């Protein structure tokens, strides 16, 4: 676990695989956001992917999940998403989002409250209990 960034999470532009474009500010004032940086070739990413897919479905409508693909191809990322039934918003990082967030590797997960402020950060694969506990903090 690394230190939690403080203050406002940097806004970004992410072109999704669906062709839509989203920004973090699209959700500010509306709902909290969980951002996960990942790649299909990353073994810990493969370990946590089923959990993220499951938890994202559990909190659909309450929390926005965003996957940001680092150092991977679209075809490999889409195959990974299909394999693990990942249905939340995902796209390749073309806006240096990982740099803006100070990522140190992948997977890395950030929790942003509905006001756009950093709440927590987890480096490495995360299990269901940890991710749910942090989401509950966001929803209180």
Binning pLDDT at 50, 70 and 90, where does residue 1 land? Answer: very low
pLDDT in tens, 7-51: 899 999 999 999 999 999 999 999 999 999 999 999 999 999 999
User: What is the span of the domain harbouring residue 39?
Assistant: 14-139
Section 55-72 average pLDDT: 97
Residue 3 domain-assigned (yes or no)? no
For the chain, what is the mean pLDDT?
94
Q: What is the CATH number of the domain that holds 115?
A: 3.40.30.10
Residue 5 domain-assigned (yes or no)? no
Residue 29 domain-assigned (yes or no)? yes
Residue 9 domain-assigned (yes or no)? no
Residue 5 predicted with pLDDT over 80 = no
Long-range pairs, 73-80, Cβ under 8 A, ≥24: 74/17, 76/40, 76/41, 77/17, 77/39, 77/40, 78/17, 79/40, 80/40, 80/45, 80/46, 80/49
How many domains does the chain contain in total? 1
Residue 6 domain-assigned (yes or no)? no
Residue 8 domain-assigned (yes or no)? no
Binning pLDDT at 50, 70 and 90, where does residue 108 land? Answer: very high
């Amino acid at each position: 676990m690394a230190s939690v960034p403080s203050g406002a999470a940097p806004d970004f532009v992410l072109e999704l695989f669906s062709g839509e474009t989203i920004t973090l500010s699209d959700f500010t004032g509306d709902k909290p956001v969980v951002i996960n940086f990942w790649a299909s070739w990353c073994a810990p990413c493969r370990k946590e992917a089923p959990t993220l897919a499951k938890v994202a479905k559990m909190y659909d409508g309450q929390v926005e999940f965003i996957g940001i693909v680092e150092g991977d191809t679209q075809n490999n990322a889409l195959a990974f998403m299909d394999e693990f039934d990942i249905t939340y918003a995902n796209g390749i990082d073309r806006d240096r989002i990982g740099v803006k967030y100070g990522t140190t590797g992948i997977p890395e997960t950030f929790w942003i409250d509905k006001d756009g402020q950093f709440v927590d950060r987890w480096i490495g694969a995360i299990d269901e209990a940890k991710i749910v506990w942090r989401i509950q903090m966001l929803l209180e």
